[in-house]
């Protein structure tokens, strides 16, 4: 056994090995590709998803968060009409990560997404960190979209003269950028539509993956139709004066307009590109994961990037960018067009479209829990239990749904979106590095898809772009991510490390008994 193989093998302590070296080595234990091959057919999850279903899952998650929610926030507060450039920059960074995800998903076709890929390349500690980051990404991501959905829900009823009380349809807390604290909003109690929607979708997810995919496919079809309608109608209503200035002058801080504002907006709108990540969480429910996962990832990303840029051009051309600072910016643009009939159709499509995004995020969240629990790192009695009838991880789905419902009912959309983006960038950074590591440590392993341009070019560029966008994130978001990571490390060292299957030979049988 070579030095590297021994260092990452999780082998027992050697006679001449000091305690600190042994415990340090355990942090870098990796899972072998052979172990993933053994896992993929013994999960208990039902394989029902086709390539089309995977593409639609990607579209369900990607389309919506960017076009229907984040576009307005990023344009109004960070980039102005140049938010188009922000989406292009983020799209390029996402495309590099997507290619790396595609290669790894064809090699490691099991649930867990970036967590699983990092476990196979960078070791257990890095895998735990990224898994913990993904838990944040999906939980906060679902909550963010639910807040946006609530905004469109209120606007939809406005078309019919029904006014819903803001006391029960908006977050009771707001983030004060000057003080860095959350402040209480007088008269606001809970965002009830967001809360109830997440609970409803949680029930759908418990009932089965195919049922969830069917709901998602219907919602995505409606969403794409409405977005195309918005684009072709809106392009005739563009006022070129709204593009002036295309890049607003910087207002004194790094993230407020100017060139740095464009970069800062890129780190926020990157949130909109994490749909292909959720595709890879369903690997053990895909009929032919090694072929279909790369197809789903690449095709969905291409479609979404084109739609993002097109709709950004329309929104910032129809409305002057400061007016887009609204949870439902598309509705703001339609009101400016004076087409009430289009507003009804688009708001209905937005409700359906955002619903699919929440569904996919909740689905991805529970599959991350499932993968970590199977490895012994995260409370297997809760997270890896499969329902005997529905073949879904029902306990973790229910717990996740309740937590996300509470978050969405209390917090504002801006805080949630920024927090999700930095978690996403962390995951993509390590996936790019993971491809490099496997090309060196397992050069002859079967790969049904390979990153083009050789083993180093795209992963290195992708990693550098992710680092650039991370550095442009707001300080408050990075601090929140750091606090979340510290909490995760405490859990790992108190629980995960001593229960790890890879690092504790007797833990495998215990987990097997718990999982039935």
SS (H, E, C) 118-183: HHHHCCHHHHHHHHHHHHHHHHHHHHHHHHHHHHHHHHHHHCCCCCCCCCCECCCEEEECCCCEEE
Task: Report the length, in residues, of the chain.
Answer: 516
Report which listed range, 9-23, 60-74, 209-223, 457-471, is most confident: 457-471
- Positive or negative CA dihedral for 143, 145, 148, 152? negative
Question: What pLDDT, in 10s, does the model give residues 198-217?
Answer: 999 898 888 876 667 777 78
Assess whether pLDDT exceeds 60 at residue 507: no
SS3 readout for 364-431: HHHHHHHHHHHCCCCCHHHHCCCCCCCCCCHHHHHHHHHHHHHHHHHCCHHHHHHHHHHHHHHHHHHH
- Who wins on pLDDT, 256 or 406? 406
Q: What pLDDT does residue 514 have?
A: 44
Residue 332 CA to residue 234 CA, distance in Å, equals 12
Q: Respond yes or no on whether the N-terminal peptide bond of residue 278 is cis (omega within 30° of 0).
A: no
Note the pTM of the prediction, 2 decimals.
0.73
Assess whether pLDDT exceeds 60 at residue 44: no
Domain topology for 47-515: Amino acid/polyamine transporter I (1.20.1740)
Segment 189-205 shows an average pLDDT of 89
- Cα-to-chain-centroid distance, residue 138: 5
Segment 352-364 shows an average pLDDT of 80
Distances (CA, A) of 375 to 40, 291, 502, 505, 508: 13, 25, 7, 12, 8
Question: What pLDDT, in 10s, does the model give residues 233-251?
Answer: 989 889 899 888 888 888 7
Q: What is the rounded average pLDDT for all residues in the chain? A: 79
Q: What pLDDT does residue 36 have?
A: 67
The number of C-alpha atoms within 13 Å of 509 and in the hemisphere containing its C-beta is 2
All structural domains of the chain with their residue ranges = 47-515
Residue 116 CA to residue 139 CA, distance in Å, equals 18
What's the pLDDT band for 195 if we cut at 50, 70, 90?
very high
């Amino acid at each position: 056994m070579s030095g590297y193989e021994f260092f990452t093998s999780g082998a027992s302590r050697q006679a001449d090995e000091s305690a600190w070296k042994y415990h340090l080595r355990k942090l870098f234990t990796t899972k072998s590709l052979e172990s993933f091959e053994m896992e993929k057919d013994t999960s208990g999850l039902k394989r029902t998803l086709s390539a089309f279903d995977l593409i639609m899952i990607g579209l369900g998650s990607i389309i919506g968060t960017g076009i229907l929610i984040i576009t307005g926030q990023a344009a109004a507060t960070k980039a102005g009409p140049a938010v188009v450039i922000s989406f292009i920059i983020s799209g390029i960074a996402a495309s590099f990560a997507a290619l790396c995800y595609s290669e790894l998903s064809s090699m490691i076709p099991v649930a867990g997404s970036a967590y699983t890929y990092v476990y196979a390349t960078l070791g257990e500690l890095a895998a735990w960190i990224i898994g913990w980051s993904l838990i944040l990404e999906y939980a906060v991501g679902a909550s963010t979209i639910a807040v946006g959905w609530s905004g469109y829900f209120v606007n939809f009823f406005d078309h019919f003269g029904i006014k819903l009380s803001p006391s029960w349809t908006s977050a009771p807390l707001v983030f004060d950028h000057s003080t860095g604290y959350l402040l209480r909003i007088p008269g606001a109690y809970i965002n009830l539509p967001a809360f109830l929607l997440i609970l409803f979708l949680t029930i759908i997810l418990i009932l089965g993956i195919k049922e969830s995919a069917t709901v998602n496919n219907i919602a995505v079809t409606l969403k794409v139709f409405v977005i195309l309608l918005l684009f072709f109608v809106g392009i005739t209503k563009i006022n070129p004066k709204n593009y002036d200035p295309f890049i607003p002058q910087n207002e004194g801080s790094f993230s407020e307009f100017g060139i740095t504002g464009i970069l800062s907006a890129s780190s926020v709108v990157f949130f909109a590109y994490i749909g292909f990540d959720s595709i890879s969480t369903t690997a053990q429910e895909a009929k032919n994961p090694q072929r279909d996962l790369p197809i789903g990832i690449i095709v969905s990303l291409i479609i979404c990037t084109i739609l993002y840029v097109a709709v950004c051009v329309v929104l910032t051309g129809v409305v002057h960018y400061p007016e887009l600072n609204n949870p439902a910016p598309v509705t703001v643009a339609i009101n400016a067009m004076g087409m009430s009939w289009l507003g009804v159709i688009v708001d209905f499509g937005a409700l359906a479209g955002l619903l699919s995004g929440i569904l996919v995020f909740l689905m991805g969240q529970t599959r991350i829990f499932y993968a970590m629990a199977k490895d012994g790192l995260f409370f297997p009695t809760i997270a890896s239990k499969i329902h005997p009838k529905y073949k879904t991880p029902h306990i973790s789905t229910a717990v996740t749904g309740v937590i996300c419902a509470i978050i969405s009912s209390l917090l504002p959309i801006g805080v949630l979106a920024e927090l999700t983006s930095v978690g996403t960038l962390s995951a993509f950074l390590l996936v790019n590095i993971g491809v490099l590591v496997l090309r060196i440590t397992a050069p002859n392993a079967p790969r049904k898809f390979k990153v083009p341009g050789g083993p180093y070019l795209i992963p290195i560029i992708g990693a550098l772009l992710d680092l650039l966008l991370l550095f442009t994130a707001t300080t408050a978001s990075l601090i929140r991510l750091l606090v979340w990571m510290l909490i995760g490390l405490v859990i790992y060292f108190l629980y995960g490390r001593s229960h790890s299957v890879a690092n504790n030979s007797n833990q495998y049988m215990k987990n097997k008994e718990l999982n039935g």
